[in-house]
Structure 1
Amino acid sequence: MTEFPMMVPMTQTEFWDKMQRVVEKVVEAKLTTATASTPTLIPEKALLKASEVCTIFQISKPTLYEWLKQNKIASFKIQSRRYFARTDIEAIIRQNHKKFKQ
């Protein structure tokens, strides 16, 4: 790294170290605030109804049933009602989150 004259009473390395610490503190504070203020959209129960899954993914019921046809999401029926396992929904969210981060 080439040295440039600076108008602050520290070396360039000290300046960049301080800048890095400041940025890390700000990012950590934002992440803490974001996780603390973001409510969980997934209800705390093992089985979810189609309407609840639609709310979680912010999709319509026809889209949900299209996902079922395409095997993008799994469900099962109990009598005439269709249910979705909470663990399956969380796995889909984690899987897509990992794809999005890459």
Structure 2
Amino acid sequence: MTYVVTEACIRCKYMDCVEVCPVDCFYEGENMLVIHPDECIDCGVCEPECPAEAILPDTDERAAQWVEFNRKYAQAWPNITRKGEPPADADEWKGKPGKMAYFSEKPGHP
């Protein structure tokens, strides 16, 4: 089992989850984070830390489509091990639906 990041992270990217991850399995894109599903140890400490409620266990039916998405971008983006600053307008994007239209494939800058 693994945890995955969903579209709720897009344009929020709070990064509270990064600080608590014991295996450093978060990877940073320009406007969201992903979890490498093959590195996640299923400890679950990241899920309650996410203010955007963007992290789900892969056993949740809403997470099924996100496992391969997280794997793909974890292999392309840089690993992140420390919390950075969220976007200035993160709170404005929190909870908005349809954020996939704003997704960027560009890597982040850890």
Question: TM-score with structure 1 length normalisation?
Answer: 0.24
Query: Quick check: which has more Rg, 1 or 2?
Result: 1
Higher RCO (CA < 8 A, seq sep 6+): 2
